[in-house]
C-alpha cells in the first residue's frame, strides 16, 4: 500500500500541523523550476532569506550530472552537457508525471541530449553512458537532497519539512511525482503550494489591504510554461479572535503548458543551427555535444538580446572541429517567435474569464519568472493590459520561494508571521463515477469538484441503492493535458452487505452508504472514508414513518431510481435528531496513474521505490566516504607542509627552541618519507591509512609541542599553587589562634586541633613537593621534558584547596548552654551564629 500511505501521509501532515504545535524545527521552501531552483530556509534565529549555494549564488541550476564517479550539481552539472551529453540531466521538470510516450517527452528529446528510455510504470527513465539507469523522480530527488544538505549546513541541524511550489495547472499525477521525489530525497512534504499563490503571499507580506478586495494578476513567465493567477487581496476579521488578517483568494487561473523560456531557447538554437548548416554545410543536429554547446550558447544569446539589439554567437570547436560564429539580431529572434506573442498573453485573458472579472477590475499585473524579462514578452503583456497596469514590484526570481517559505512558516506555527490566509482553487474539474446498481448498466457521473472548488474542502456522496460492494472512481471530467489520463483513482468499498444488515438489525431505517471525498490544501483529491450510515428512529411514529417512507420510495429500476447518488452535499451535515450509527467500511484505494495497477504491480512499484532508496543511500554514503578520504588526504598533505615549515624556520621559533637536533632529524626523515609515499601509494590509500600516517607524524611532534606549552603554562600554574599555599598558611594561623582563645573561654570551636594539624601536614607536603619541583625545573633545558608538569601542579593545588575549603565552610557548632546576653552579637543582630565563617568566603 505504498501509494496509498504516501498520499495519506501528505494529508495527515497538513492536518497535524494545523492542529498541534510542532516542535521548533526549520522549514525549507523549494521553488523547483525547469532551469533554476531557489530555496529558502525558515529557522528561528536565522535571517529570513534565500538559501545560498556553495558559491554564494542565490539560485541553483536544476541539473545533476556525472563526471566519471563524481556527481555534480548546479551549473557545474549543466556545463558538463557539452562534454558528456548523456551524463548531464537538466529541464527534468518538463517530465514530471509524464508517461514515456507523451508529448512532453517528445518535446524534451528535442531540447535535451540525455538518453530517454521507458522506465518503470511506463514513466521516463534515463540511461547514462555507463549504462546506469535513473528515473526522472530519482534525478529530481538527488537535486532536492543536494538542497537539503545546503539547508542543513546553513541550519546546523537536520532539515526535514519542505514546502514546494508547483504550477497551478499540475494534475494529481504531476503532484504525485513531486511528492515522490521529495520522499525519495529524504525530505517530508509539508505542503505543495501553487507558485502564483506563493507570489501572492510574498506580495501581501509587506502590504496592507482594506476590506474591499483588490485584484491583481500574478503573471509568471517561467522556463517551462506561462501562467497567470488572478488573486483578490482583502483584510478580514477573524470572528473568534477579533484580530484582522489578510485574505488571499485565487479567483482564476490561465496557463500555457508549453510556452516559456525553454521554447524561446529552442527557437534561438534553431537560428544558430540554421546559421551553422548554411555556413558549414554540415548537419550539426547529428552531433550531441555540438547540440549541447549550441543549447548553452542560445541561453547566453537570449540574455544578451534582452538588453541589446544584436549579439554575436561564438562557440569554439562546436562540432567537426569548427569554430562557430554568427550574428543574431533581436529582430531575427522575435520574428522566429512571432507566434508565441499571443500565447504568452493568452493566460491573462483566461485567468480573467475564469474569474468572471474584467481587466478594468484588476489593479496591477505583477510580473515574475525569468522570461518576464524578455523584451518581447514584456511588450506583449504591456500591449494586452496597458503599461500602467504592469507592476515590477516583486523579485521576479525569488518572490515564489519566499512566499512559499512564509506559507510554510505559517503552517508550522512556530514563527511570528503576518496572519495571511489562503483560499486556492481547483483548475481541473473532478467527477466521481460509479456503475449504476442494476447489473450491466451505465456509468453515473457526479460533478463533485467543479472548476473553482476550494482547496481544503470535503464532500460527501450518499448512495441509497447500494446493497453490495462497489467501486467509486475519481476522474478528471475533461482531458487535462495531452498524454495524461483522466482516471485518477479507484476506491473499492467493501463490507457493504454486512454493514447494512447490521444497521437494519439494530433498527436503522433505510441505511445508506456514504463516501467522503476530499480536495486537500495541496490540491490532491482522495476518498477519505466510506461508511454505512443509519438513523434509528426512537419513537413508534418514527418507525412507522420510516416504514411508509420506505414503501413509498422510488420505484425500482426506473430512470429516477438511478439518481441514487444525491448531488454531492457539503460535509457540514445538519444536526441529526435521531440516533445515528455509522460503520466504517473497508476502503481500498487504487492509484492507476496511467493504467490501472494490479496489487502485484503496486507491490513492484513499492519495492522499486525501496530499491531507489537504497540506491540513493549507497550513492550518498559512497560520496560521503569519498569526501572523508579526500579530507584525510588533504589534512595529511597540509600537515606535511606545516612540519616542513617548522623545520626550516629560524632558530628563534618555539619549535626550534624546544626540540633536540635528533628529534628534528627524525621528523625530517619521516616527513620526506611520508611525502614520497603520499605522491605514490598515497593516491590510492584508504582513509584509515591516511589517518595512520598523520598520527605517526603527530606522535613525533607532540613532545616538542608539549614542552613549549609547559613553558608557557608554568608561571600561571605556579601562581595558582602559591596562592593556595599562601591561603592555607593564613588560615591555619588565624584558626589556631581562635582555637586557643575559644578553648580558654570554654566556647566550642569549629575545628579540632587534629584537623588543623592534618591540614598543616598536607600543606607542608605540598610545599616540599613544589619547592623540589621548582628547583629541578630550573636546571631543565627548553628542549628537555619538564621536571614538574603543570597538570600535576594544578591537581596538587586543587587537593590542597579542597582540604582547606572543607574546614573553612564548616558551620559553627550550636552554643548549647550559652548565657542569654551572647545571643546578640556586637552588631545588635540577634541569632546569627552561622554567619561567622563569612570572612573566608572569598578564598
Ligand atoms: C454490528 O456491529 C457492531 C459493532 O461493529 C457489533 O458489535 C455487532 O455485533 C454487530 N451486529 C450484528 C448483528 O452484526
Ligand atoms: C599571579 O596572580 C596575581 C593575582 O591573581 C596576579 O596579579 C599576577 O599577575 C599573577 N601572575 C602570573 C604570572 O600569573
Ligand atoms: C577567628 O575569630 C575572628 C573573631 O571572631 C573571626 O573574625 C575570624 O574569622 C576567625 N578566624 C577563622 C579562621 O575562623
Ligand atoms: C608557601 O607559602 C609559605 C608562606 O608564605 C612560604 O614561606 C613558602 O615559601 C611557600 N612555598 C612555595 C613553594 O611557594
Ligand atoms: C532570636 O531569638 C529570640 C529568642 O530565642 C527569638 O525570640 C527571636 O524571634 C529570634 N529572632 C530571629 C530573627 O530569629
Confidence of residue 816 (pLDDT cuts 50, 70, 90): low
Of residues 227, 226, 301, the one with CA closest to residue 266: 301
CA 562 – ligand 1 centroid, Å? 30
Q: Does the beta carbon of 832 lie inside 6 Å of ligand 4?
A: no
CA 838 – ligand 5 centroid, Å? 21
Supply the pLDDT for residue 478. Answer: 94
Residue whose C-alpha cell is 460535509: 571
Mean pLDDT is highest, among 228-232, 471-475, 606-610, for: 228-232
Residue whose C-alpha cell is 499563490: 197
In sequence order, what are the beta bridge partners of 55? Answer: none
Q: Does the beta carbon of 712 lie inside 6 Å of ligand 2?
A: no
What are the residue ranges spanned by the domains of the chain? 27-260+343-420, 430-597, 607-813
Q: What is the pLDDT of residues 765-791, one digit of tens each?
A: 999 999 999 999 999 999 999 999 999
Q: What is the atom index within ligand 2 of the atom nearest the CA of 715?
A: 13
Measured by CA distance, the residue closest to atom 2 of ligand 5 is: 831
Cβ-based neighbour number of residue 494 at 10 Å: 16
- For residue 140, pLDDT over 70 is answered with yes
Rg (CA), the chain: 39
- For residue 287, pLDDT over 50 is answered with yes
Q: How far apart are CA 366 and CA 413, in angstroms?
A: 28
Relative to the alpha carbon of 719, which ligand is closest?
A: 2
Q: What is the atom index within ligand 1 of the atom nearest the CA of 583?
A: 5
In sequence order, what are the beta bridge partners of 475? Answer: 431, 487
Q: Does the beta carbon of 726 lie inside 6 Å of ligand 4?
A: yes
Q: Is 302 exposed, middle or buried (0-12, 13-18, 19+ CB in 10 A)?
A: buried
Q: Of 752, 836, 837, 838, which is best to mutate to test ligand 3, by the most ligand atoms within 8 angstroms of its C-beta?
A: 836
DSSP for 364-425 reads: EEEEESGGGGSHHHHHHHHHHH-GGGEE--S-TTTHHHHHHHHHHHHHHT-S----EEEE-B
User: What's the rounded mean pLDDT across residues 15-42?
Assistant: 75
- For residue 382, pLDDT over 50 is answered with yes
Q: How far apart are CA 316 and CA 721, in angstroms?
A: 75
Of residues 274, 184, 258, the one with CA closest to residue 225: 258
Q: How far apart are CA 503 and CA 498, in angstroms?
A: 9
Of residues 94, 135, 189, the one with CA closest to residue 608: 135
Q: How far apart are CA 18 and CA 8, in angstroms?
A: 16
First to last CA, the chain: 71
Measured by CA distance, the residue closest to atom 7 of ligand 3 is: 839
Contact 309, 328 (CB under 8 A): no
DSSP for 467-521 reads: -S-EEEEEEESS--STT--SEEEEEEE--HHHHHHHHHHTTEEEEEEEEEEEE-T
Residue whose C-alpha cell is 621528523: 667
Phi, psi (deg, nearest 5) at residue 403: -65, -40
Cβ-based neighbour number of residue 244 at 10 Å: 14
Q: Does the beta carbon of 831 lie inside 6 Å of ligand 5?
A: yes
CA 648 – ligand 3 centroid, Å? 61
Q: Does the beta carbon of 830 lie inside 6 Å of ligand 5?
A: yes
Relative to the alpha carbon of 506, which ligand is closest?
A: 1
Pairing of strands 244-256, 420-423: parallel
Contact 392, 236 (CB under 8 A): no
Q: Does the beta carbon of 582 lie inside 6 Å of ligand 1?
A: no
Pairing of strands 64-67, 36-42: unpaired
User: What's the rounded mean pLDDT across residues 324-334?
Assistant: 96
Q: Which fold is adopted by the domain 27-260+343-420? A: Nucleotidyltransferase; domain 5 (3.30.420)
- For residue 71, pLDDT over 70 is answered with yes
Of residues 267, 227, 224, 230, the one with CA closest to residue 249: 230
- For residue 1, pLDDT over 70 is answered with no
Supply the pLDDT for residue 123. Answer: 85
Cβ contacts of residue 376 below 8 Å, gap of 6+? 333, 334, 337, 340, 341, 344
Confidence of residue 113 (pLDDT cuts 50, 70, 90): very high
Relative to the alpha carbon of 774, which ligand is closest?
A: 4
Cβ contacts of residue 439 below 8 Å, gap of 6+? none
Per-state percent for the chain, helix, strand, coil, to nearest 5:
50, 25, 30
Confidence of residue 56 (pLDDT cuts 50, 70, 90): confident
Q: How far apart are CA 108 and CA 90, in angstroms?
A: 10
Of residues 526, 417, 482, the one with CA closest to residue 176: 526
Q: Of 497, 498, 502, which is best to mutate to test ligand 1, by the most ligand atoms within 8 angstroms of its C-beta?
A: 502
How remote is the C-alpha of 288 from its chain's centroid? Answer: 35
Measured by CA distance, the residue closest to atom 14 of ligand 2 is: 716
Of residues 145, 141, 139, 160, the one with CA closest to residue 41: 160
Residue with more model confidence, 548 or 315: 315
Residue with more model confidence, 406 or 579: 406
Greatest alpha-carbon pair distance for the chain in Å reads 124
Q: How far apart are CA 160 and CA 478, in angstroms?
A: 36
Q: What is the atom index within ligand 4 of the atom nearest the CA of 729?
A: 4
Query: For a pLDDT cut of 90, what percent of the chain falls above it?
Result: 66
Relative to the alpha carbon of 768, which ligand is closest?
A: 4
CA 619 – ligand 5 centroid, Å? 78
Q: Does the beta carbon of 760 lie inside 6 Å of ligand 4?
A: no
Phi, psi (deg, nearest 5) at residue 656: -65, -40
Cβ contacts of residue 692 below 8 Å, gap of 6+? none
Query: Mean pLDDT in the chain?
Result: 85
CATH number of this structure's domain 607-813: 1.20.1270.10
Measured by CA distance, the residue closest to atom 7 of ligand 4 is: 726
Contact 254, 227 (CB under 8 A): yes
- For residue 837, pLDDT over 50 is answered with no
Q: How far apart are CA 494 and CA 496, in angstroms?
A: 5
Measured by CA distance, the residue closest to atom 6 of ligand 4 is: 726
Phi, psi (deg, nearest 5) at residue 301: -65, -40
Q: Does the beta carbon of 793 lie inside 6 Å of ligand 4?
A: no
Relative to the alpha carbon of 823, which ligand is closest?
A: 5
Measured by CA distance, the residue closest to atom 14 of ligand 5 is: 831
- Among the ranges given (475-479, 599-603, 676-680), the one the predictor scored with the smallest mean pLDDT: 599-603
- For residue 399, pLDDT over 50 is answered with yes
Cβ contacts of residue 594 below 8 Å, gap of 6+? 99, 121, 122, 123, 173, 485
Measured by CA distance, the residue closest to atom 9 of ligand 1 is: 502
Contact 412, 20 (CB under 8 A): no
Q: Does the beta carbon of 738 lie inside 6 Å of ligand 3?
A: yes
Pairing of strands 310-319, 322-329: antiparallel
Q: What is the atom index within ligand 2 of the atom nearest the CA of 723?
A: 2
Relative to the alpha carbon of 826, which ligand is closest?
A: 3
Confidence of residue 754 (pLDDT cuts 50, 70, 90): very high
CA 732 – ligand 2 centroid, Å? 23
Q: How far apart are CA 2 and CA 468, in angstroms?
A: 27
Measured by CA distance, the residue closest to atom 10 of ligand 5 is: 831
Of residues 737, 765, 766, the one with CA closest to residue 753: 737
Q: Does the beta carbon of 210 lie inside 6 Å of ligand 5?
A: no
158, three cell numbers: 537536520
Q: How far apart are CA 830 and CA 325, in angstroms?
A: 103
Phi, psi (deg, nearest 5) at residue 240: -80, -55
User: What's the rounded mean pLDDT across residues 587-609?
Assistant: 57
Q: Does the beta carbon of 716 lie inside 6 Å of ligand 2?
A: yes
Q: What is the atom index within ligand 5 of the atom nearest the CA of 831?
A: 1
Q: What is the pLDDT of residues 335-358, one digit of tens each?
A: 999 999 999 999 999 999 999 999
Residue with more model confidence, 47 or 530: 530
Residue with more model confidence, 338 or 811: 338
Residue whose C-alpha cell is 546559421: 275
Q: How far apart are CA 781 and CA 769, in angstroms?
A: 20
Phi, psi (deg, nearest 5) at residue 126: -130, 150
State which H helix or E strand residue 70 sits in: strand 70-73
Q: Does the beta carbon of 792 lie inside 6 Å of ligand 2?
A: no
Q: What is the atom index within ligand 3 of the atom nearest the CA of 731?
A: 13
Relative to the alpha carbon of 820, which ligand is closest?
A: 5
Measured by CA distance, the residue closest to atom 11 of ligand 1 is: 502
Q: Does the beta carbon of 668 lie inside 6 Å of ligand 1?
A: no
693, three cell numbers: 600516517
- How many residues belong to the chain? 843
27-260+343-420 against 430-597: fold identical: no
Measured by CA distance, the residue closest to atom 4 of ligand 4 is: 726
- For residue 602, pLDDT over 60 is answered with no
CATH architecture observed for domain 430-597: Sandwich (2.60)
State which H helix or E strand residue 433 sits in: strand 430-435
Measured by CA distance, the residue closest to atom 2 of ligand 1 is: 502
Is 49 in a helix, a strand, or coil?
A: strand
Relative to the alpha carbon of 830, which ligand is closest?
A: 5
Q: Does the beta carbon of 735 lie inside 6 Å of ligand 3?
A: yes
Confidence of residue 44 (pLDDT cuts 50, 70, 90): confident
CA 738 – ligand 3 centroid, Å? 6
Query: For a pLDDT cut of 70, what percent of the chain falls above it?
Result: 86
DSSP category for residue 85: T
Q: Does the beta carbon of 722 lie inside 6 Å of ligand 4?
A: yes
User: What's the rounded mean pLDDT across residues 78-82?
Assistant: 93
Contact 319, 282 (CB under 8 A): yes
Cβ contacts of residue 818 below 8 Å, gap of 6+? none
Q: Does the beta carbon of 505 lie inside 6 Å of ligand 1?
A: yes
242, three cell numbers: 477579533
- For residue 452, pLDDT over 80 is answered with yes
Residue with more model confidence, 206 or 168: 168
Relative to the alpha carbon of 764, which ligand is closest?
A: 4
148, three cell numbers: 537539503
Q: How far apart are CA 484 and CA 37, in angstroms?
A: 25
Q: Of 711, 718, 719, which is best to mutate to test ligand 2, by the most ligand atoms within 8 angstroms of its C-beta?
A: 719
Cβ contacts of residue 716 below 8 Å, gap of 6+? 790
User: What's the rounded mean pLDDT across residues 426-436?
Assistant: 92
- For residue 162, pLDDT over 90 is answered with yes
CA 501 – ligand 1 centroid, Å? 9
Q: Of 723, 725, 733, 776, which is best to mutate to test ligand 4, by the most ligand atoms within 8 angstroms of its C-beta?
A: 725
716, three cell numbers: 600561571
Supply the pLDDT for residue 815. Answer: 62
Of residues 788, 799, 806, the one with CA closest to residue 725: 799
Q: How far apart are CA 237 and CA 210, in angstroms?
A: 11
pTM tops 0.75: no
Pairing of strands 60-61, 64-67: unpaired
Q: What is the atom index within ligand 4 of the atom nearest the CA of 771?
A: 13
Q: Does the beta carbon of 319 lie inside 6 Å of ligand 4?
A: no
Residue with more model confidence, 628 or 325: 325
746 Rama class: left (phi>0) / alpha (psi -120 to 50) / beta = left
Q: Does the beta carbon of 502 lie inside 6 Å of ligand 1?
A: yes
User: What's the rounded mean pLDDT across residues 782-804?
Assistant: 93
Amino acid at each position: 500500500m505504498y501509494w496509498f500511505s504516501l498520499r495519506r501521509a501528505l494529508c495527515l501532515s497538513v492536518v497535524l500541523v494545523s492542529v498541534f504545535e510542532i516542535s521548533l524545527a526549520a522549514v525549507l521552501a523549494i521553488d523547483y523550476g525547469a532551469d533554476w531552483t531557489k530555496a529558502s530556509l525558515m529557522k528561528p534565529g536565522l535571517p529570513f532569506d534565500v538559501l545560498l549555494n556553495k558559491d554564494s549564488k542565490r539560485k541553483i541550476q536544476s541539473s545533476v550530472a556525472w563526471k566519471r564517479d563524481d556527481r555534480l550539481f548546479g551549473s557545474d552539472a549543466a556545463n558538463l552537457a557539452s562534454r558528456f551529453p548523456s551524463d548531464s540531466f537538466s529541464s527534468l521538470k518538463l517530465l514530471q508525471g509524464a508517461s514515456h510516450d507523451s508529448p512532453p517527452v517528445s518535446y524534451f528529446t528535442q531540447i535535451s541530449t540525455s538518453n530517454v528510455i521507458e522506465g518503470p510504470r511506463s514513466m521516463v527513465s534515463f540511461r547514462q553512458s555507463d549504462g546506469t539507469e535513473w528515473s526522472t523522480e530519482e534525478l529530481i530527488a538527488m537535486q532536492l537532497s543536494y538542497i537539503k544538505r545546503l539547508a542543513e549546513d546553513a541550519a546546523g541541524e537536520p532539515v526535514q519539512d519542505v514546502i514546494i511550489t508547483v504550477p497551478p495547472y499540475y494534475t494529481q499525477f504531476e503532484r504525485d511525482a513531486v511528492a515522490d521525489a521529495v520522499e525519495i530525497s529524504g525530505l517530508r512534504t509539508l505542503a505543495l503550494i501553487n507558485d502564483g499563490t506563493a507570489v501572492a503571499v510574498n506580495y501581501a507580506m509587506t502590504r496592507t489591504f482594506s476590506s474591499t478586495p483588490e485584484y491583481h494578476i500574478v503573471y509568471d513567465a517561467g522556463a517551462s510554461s506561462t501562467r497567470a493567477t488572478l488573486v483578490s487581496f482583502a483584510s478580514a476579521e477573524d470572528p473568534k479572535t477579533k484580530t484582522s488578517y489578510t485574505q488571499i483568494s485565487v479567483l482564476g487561473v490561465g496557463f500555457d503548458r508549453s510556452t516559456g523560456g525553454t521554447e524561446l531557447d529552442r527557437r534561438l538554437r534553431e537560428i544558430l543551427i540554421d546559421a551553422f548548416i548554411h555556413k558549414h554545410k554540415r548537419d550539426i543536429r547529428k552531433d550531441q555535444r555540438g547540440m549541447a554547446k549550441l543549447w548553452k550558447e542560445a541561453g547566453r544569446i537570449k540574455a544578451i538580446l534582452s538588453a541589446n539589439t544584436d549579439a554575436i554567437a561564438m562557440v569554439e570547436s562546436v562540432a567537426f572541429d569548427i569554430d562557430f560564429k554568427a550574428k543574431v539580431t533581436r529582430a531575427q529572434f522575435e520574428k522566429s517567435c512571432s507566434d508565441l506573442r499571443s500565447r504568452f498573453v493568452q493566460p491573462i485573458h483566461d485567468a480573467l474569464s475564469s474569474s468572471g472579472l474584467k481587466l478594468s477590475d484588476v489593479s496591477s499585473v505583477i510580473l515574475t519568472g525569468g522570461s518576464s524579462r524578455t523584451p518581447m514578452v514584456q511588450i506583449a503583456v504591456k500591449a494586452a493590459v496597458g503599461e500602467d497596469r504592469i507592476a515590477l514590484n516583486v523579485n521576479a526570481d525569488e518572490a515564489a520561494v519566499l512566499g512559499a517559505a512564509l506559507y510554510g512558516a505559517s503552517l508550522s506555527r512556530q514563527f511570528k508571521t503576518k496572519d495571511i490566509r489562503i483560499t486556492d482553487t481547483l483548475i481541473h474539474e473532478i467527477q466521481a463515477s460509479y456503475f449504476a446498481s442494476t447489473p450491466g448498466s451505465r456509468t453515473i457521473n457526479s460533478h463533485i469538484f467543479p472548476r473553482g472548488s476550494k482547496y481544503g474542502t470535503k464532500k460527501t456522496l450518499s448512495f441509497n441503492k447500494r446493497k453490495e460492494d462497489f467501486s467509486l472512481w475519481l476522474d478528471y471530467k475533461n482531458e487535462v493535458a495531452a498524454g495524461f489520463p483522466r482516471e485518477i483513482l479507484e476506491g473499492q468499498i467493501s463490507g457493504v452487505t454486512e454493514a447494512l444488515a447490521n444497521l437494519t438489525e439494530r433498527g436503522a431505517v433505510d441505511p445508506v452508504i456514504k463516501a467522503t471525498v476530499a480536495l486537500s490544501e495541496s490540491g490532491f483529491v482522495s476518498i477519505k472514508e466510506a461508511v454505512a450510515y443509519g438513523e434509528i428512529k426512537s419513537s413508534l411514529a418514527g418507525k412507522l414513518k420510516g416504514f411508509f417512507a420506505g414503501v413509498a420510495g422510488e420505484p425500482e429500476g426506473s430512470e429516477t431510481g438511478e439518481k441514487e447518488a444525491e448531488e454531492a452535499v457539503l460535509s457540514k451535515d445538519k444536526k441529526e435528531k435521531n440516533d445515528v450509527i455509522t460503520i466504517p467500511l473497508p476502503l481500498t484505494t487504487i492509484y492507476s496513474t496511467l493504467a490501472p495497477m494490479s496489487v502485484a504491480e503496486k507491490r513492484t512499484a513499492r519495492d522499486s521505490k525501496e530499491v531507489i532508496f537504497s540506491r540513493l543511500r549507497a550513492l550518498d554514503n559512497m560520496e560521503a566516504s569519498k569526501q572523508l578520504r579526500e579530507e584525510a588526504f588533504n589534512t595529511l598533505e597540509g600537515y606535511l607542509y606545516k612540519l616542513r615549515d617548522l623545520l626550516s624556520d629560524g632558530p628563534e621559533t618555539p619549535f626550534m627552541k624546544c626540540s633536540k637536533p635528533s628529534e628534528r632529524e627524525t621528523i625530517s626523515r619521516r616527513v620526506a618519507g611520508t611525502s614520497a609515499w603520499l605522491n605514490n601509494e598515497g593516491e590510492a590509500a584508504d582513509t584509515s591509512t591516511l589517518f595512520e600516517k598523520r598520527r605517526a607524524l603527530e606522535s613525533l611532534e607532540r613532545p616538542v609541542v608539549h614542552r613549549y606549552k609547559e613553558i608557557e603554562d608554568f608561571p600561571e600554574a605556579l601562581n595558582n599553587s602559591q596562592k593556595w599555599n599562601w591561603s592555607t598558611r593564613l588560615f591555619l594561623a588565624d584558626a589556631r589562634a581562635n582555637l586557643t582563645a575559644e578553648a580558654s573561654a570554654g566556647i566550642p570551636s569549629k575545628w579540632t586541633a587534629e584537623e588543623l594539624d592534618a591540614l598543616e601536614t598536607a600543606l607542608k607536603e605540598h610545599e616540599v613537593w613544589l619547592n623540589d619541583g621548582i628547583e629541578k625545573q630550573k636546571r631543565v633545558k627548553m628542549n628537555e621534558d619538564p621536571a614538574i608538569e603543570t597538570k600535576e601542579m594544578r591537581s596538587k593545588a586543587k587537593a590542597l584547596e579542597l582540604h582547606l575549603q572543607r574546614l573553612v565552610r564548616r558551620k559553627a557548632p550550636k552554643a548549647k548552654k550559652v548565657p542569654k546576653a551572647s545571643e546578640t552579637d556586637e552588631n545588635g543582630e540577634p541569632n546569627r551564629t552561622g554567619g561567622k565563617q563569612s570572612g573566608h568566603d572569598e578564598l
